[in-house]
Amino acid sequence: MTHYRLLTAACILLMASSCAADKDSDQTEDLNGTAGESGAAGDMTANDAGQTSPEMKTYSNLTITSERSEVSVGDTLAFTAEATYVDAESGEDAQENVTDMVDWTSSAPSTAAFSDASPSELDAIAPGEVEISAHLGELSSSPLRVTVMPSVELTIEPASFSGIVGERIRLQAMAREGDAPANDVTAEVNWSTSNEQVVIVENGIAIIRGEGTGAVTASFAGSTAEMTVEGLPCNYPAHNRRIAFQEVFPPLGWTDAYLPDGSTTPFSMAEFHCSPKYADKNILIFVLGAGWCPACERFTTNILGPIAEELYGNGTLIVWHEAQDANYNSADSRFAFQHIGQLIDEGPGIRVGGVDALMLENSGEYNPAPDFVMDEPIVTGFPSVWVIRRSDMTMIADQGRGRYYLPFTLIANEPDADWSDPPPPPFRSNCLEGEEEESEPNNQANMAARLNPGVVDGAICEREPDFYRIMMSGEWRATLNFEASEGDLDMYVYDKDTGNPVLDADGRAVASNGTGDIETITHSGRSILVVYGYNAASANYSLTLEEL
């Protein structure tokens, strides 16, 4: 009997303890807002369907997105996941970012895989293609295809660029994959700039918009490259807007100046003076010509053209400025490019037309100034040739002030010297032995050879001219024939009192100094006729005297 009572008591004690535990459990669930069996049912729904968040949302239509579909080896690509649910208050569909709730998978982890540290960022491992999916319980997204590109080394040429406002430069982007040769991808990259107040990029050309610093960035196949840009100030020397010897050349400019290869670029005197682009230049030779002018063509082809390369490498920039075309109309820069190209092909120098000229105003803007150069008083004929010193933009030499072509090589070597009265060019004889006239020597007026009606063969074989004495009392005509391609020869009637050409009733020299192969003088009375080489030219000739 005693033993039975003890067992009963133990049983009652255990039951009481169990009941107390159940009571405490019910209180805890009530505090959490979940009661008994309904809490268990909620847990079952979440575990079975896998579509309900801790906030009891039911999700559908899981979608994933990324900024791009390509990534280079060694780079990462971030993904975002969104799911649709029904809003409890409005009863309408809403979107929720579930990027951190989903499981991300890659179809080829050896090509690209997600890391534990950043579960939504794909690490590109090897070239190839993968499909990326996200999973939220039983929901799965549609896959996204991602291409893993080989690692690309991207470079920009030039690596840096400095210039004044308005200056521009064509950019080139090169991409290299591993050890393969680099490819030009300029047309495929995306360009951006850090400061559009300083620089912009249009069609692969960087254009300086203002003073300061900025950067241009190229993006391609997940790689980027950057170049630095500096916009420089330009203080052009004070000028009086006229072209004159020993004065500052006006700040002219052209929007589309032609380079020898046919490409165009803005060019201005301000750019020549200020831009680092021309830091290796000391002088600028400005050649004013016309499409109808034989003397211009001869100067370009025979005088300056042959030494242009040498001058360019010796600190000289040449500007070929065409004022008029072959029909005497104002020439544009396109005509200048075509005409100069016919004469010297792709020889050095910038080609511009008079009708396209602009003038830099005090406001900093360029205004049209068509035919400005041609209309200046200094222009008395074609070609007009001037030399401008870069350091102060002063005209230091004017071919119109002397009898000879300017010694361009000497000027390039000493731009700070006085070139107001330059020496004559070196004489180069084109004569073979025995080609001079029989009356030689006749290099001075007091040694003039008698010239009778008929034809005399002669040659300018020395720097000194040939003198002939005409004994006719009536009217006569002298005709000089030669090859201008060999050397340009001219004639005049000599005044023994002055040592200069005789002047006619209108004060003009009795002379013939054209640009072709024939020179003719008609005069009367006894005279001394002088045959000479223009600009120290040498050539053979035949001289015909006729009585009229």
pLDDT at 32: 32
Q: What are the C-alpha distances in Å from 271 to residues 233, 266, 268, 362, 366? A: 11, 9, 5, 16, 13
The more confidently predicted of residues 130 and 36 is 130
Contacts made by residues 422-426, CB under 8 angstroms, sequence distance 24+: 422/397, 424/463, 424/536, 425/535, 425/536, 426/536
How does DSSP classify residue 302? I
Across 338-348, average pLDDT = 97
Count other C-beta atoms under 10 Å from residue 346's C-beta.
Answer: 11
Question: How far apart, in Å, do the first and last CA atoms of the chain sit?
Answer: 179
Does 74 score more than 90 pLDDT? no
DSSP 3-state assignment of 166? coil
Residue 411 backbone dihedrals phi, psi, to 5 degrees: -65, -40
pLDDT at 534: 83
pLDDT at 117: 87
Choose the most confident range, by mean pLDDT, from 14-18, 40-44, 488-492: 488-492
Does 18 score more than 70 pLDDT? no
Does 270 score more than 80 pLDDT? yes
Read off the pLDDT of residues 280-306 as tens digits, 9 standing for 90 and up: 999 999 999 999 998 899 899 988 999
Q: How confident is the model at residue 387 (pLDDT cuts 50, 70, 90)?
A: very high
Across 63-90, average pLDDT = 91
Work out the mean pLDDT of the chain and round it to a whole number: 87
- Is beta strand 139-140 parallel, antiparallel or unpaired with respect to 475-482? unpaired
The more confidently predicted of residues 46 and 383 is 383
pLDDT at 22: 42
Strand order in the sheet with 449-451: 449-451, 466-470, 527-533, 489-493, 511-512
Read off the pLDDT of residues 492-517 as tens digits, 9 standing for 90 and up: 999 998 888 999 888 888 999 877 89
pLDDT at 380: 87
The more confidently predicted of residues 522 and 10 is 522
**DSSP H/E element including 170:** strand 168-170
Does 30 score more than 60 pLDDT? no
The more confidently predicted of residues 337 and 435 is 337
Single-letter code of the amino acid located at 216: V
pLDDT at 272: 97
How does DSSP classify residue 310? H
Across 174-186, average pLDDT = 88
Across 228-251, average pLDDT = 96
Does 33 score more than 80 pLDDT? no
Does 168 score more than 90 pLDDT? no
Does 457 score more than 60 pLDDT? yes
pLDDT at 56: 64
Q: Please state, in angstroms and rounded to a whole number, the distance separating the CA atoms of residues 237 and 16.
A: 108
Q: Angle at the Cα of 210 (from 160 to 392), degrees rounded to 5? A: 85
Domains of the chain listed by start with CATH number: 59-149 (2.60.40.1080), 152-232 (2.60.40.1080), 252-413 (3.40.30.10), 445-547 (2.60.120.380)
Q: What are the C-alpha distances in Å from 208 to residues 161, 267, 273, 426, 473? A: 9, 13, 17, 45, 73
Least confident of 7-11, 381-385, 465-469: 7-11
% of the chain exceeding 90 in pLDDT: 68
Q: How confident is the model at residue 19 (pLDDT cuts 50, 70, 90)?
A: very low
pLDDT at 42: 32
Q: Please state, in angstroms and rounded to a whole number, the distance separating the CA atoms of residues 492 and 495.
A: 9
Q: Please state, in angstroms and rounded to a whole number, the distance separating the CA atoms of residues 221 and 150.
A: 9
Single-letter code of the amino acid located at 546: E
Across 24-33, average pLDDT = 34
pLDDT at 37: 36
Across 369-395, average pLDDT = 96
% of the chain exceeding 70 in pLDDT: 90
How does DSSP classify residue 413? H
pLDDT at 439: 77
pTM across the whole model: 0.60
pLDDT at 9: 34
Read off the pLDDT of residues 131-160 as tens digits, 9 standing for 90 and up: 999 999 999 999 999 999 888 889 999 999
pLDDT at 21: 38
Across 526-545, average pLDDT = 92
Read off the pLDDT of residues 86-99 as tens digits, 9 standing for 90 and up: 888 888 899 999 99
Q: How confident is the model at residue 55 (pLDDT cuts 50, 70, 90)?
A: low
pLDDT at 525: 95
Question: For the chain, what is the total number of helices (H) and then of strands (E)?
Answer: 7, 38
